[in-house]
Amino acid sequence: MANAYLDLLAYFGIGGAHPGGFDLTQSILGDENIQRTESVLDIGCGTGQTAAFLAEKFDCQVTAVDNHPIMIEKAKQRFANTNFNVSVVEGDVQRLDFVDNSFDLILAESVIAFTSISKTLNELVRVLKSDGRMIMIEMTAEQTLSEELQEKVCSLYGIQEVLTEVQWKSKLQEAGFTKVHIINTPSELTPSEINDINQSENIHMDLFDLLDKHNHFLRQYGHLTGYRVFRCQLH
């Protein structure tokens, strides 16, 4: 399904566009004991910034998946002249082409909210090893949002719902995660510093307008919509 906001990220080629940005990614993964022998799945990999960091820092096997062909193209460009152990795959996180119990670690940075949440979580549980873990960064309502604001957020980002922390935990537990831990980070949804850009030529003006709407939304409603970092395990 087409999503104008994801088109915006793809055409601008923004790395670290998720809440907290790449600084947050580095901080979280720096605390994660990732072994060289482990297999990591980076879903919604975008232009491959996080996948590159994982491969370079931990020398682990990384599979980077995105369903946007422009993102895939830019991720492959990033790895064209490297020796990183990264496989870039175009695919739908709701229907992954991997066997059960494939990955030790799954990383999802502002991805799951753009999908059918329960369907995606069930699929991620399927491909995660029983002793594996998942780290996800997701937009979170800081309180129950009014129907009007819910509609505004969903329309802007092309998503179906904005969950509270409690609702996210419930969805994760329903999918089969028995251990759900919140990694303590600043939760306010504020613009992240962008220093990794691979911009396409001839970007349609509609996407510039959408970027303005996104920034305006953060200024007006950033205190009502934040994010959480969840570390999840099956056992």
- Give the model's pLDDT for residue 193: 55
For the cut 80, the answer to whether the pLDDT of residue 17 exceeds it is: no
Q: For the ranges 109-113, 114-118, 185-189, 208-212, which has the lowest average pLDDT?
A: 185-189
- The distance of Cα 57 from the centroid of its chain, to the nearest Å, equals 19
Is residue 23 very low, low, confident or very high in pLDDT (cuts 50, 70, 90)? confident
For the cut 70, the answer to whether the pLDDT of residue 37 exceeds it is: yes
Q: What is the mean pLDDT of residues 76-84?
A: 90
* CA-closest candidate to residue 134, choices 123, 119, 124: 124
The C-alpha angle with vertex 1 and arms to 140 and 72, in degrees rounded to 5, equals 85
User: Domain limits at 140?
Assistant: 4-233
Is residue 190 very low, low, confident or very high in pLDDT (cuts 50, 70, 90)? low
Higher-confidence position of 101 and 6:
101
For the cut 60, the answer to whether the pLDDT of residue 164 exceeds it is: yes
Number of independent structural domains in the chain? 1
CATH number of 38's domain: 3.40.50.150
The C-alpha angle with vertex 46 and arms to 41 and 49, in degrees rounded to 5, equals 80
Task: Convert the pLDDT of each residue in 97-128 to its tens digit.
Answer: 999 999 999 999 999 999 999 999 999 999 99
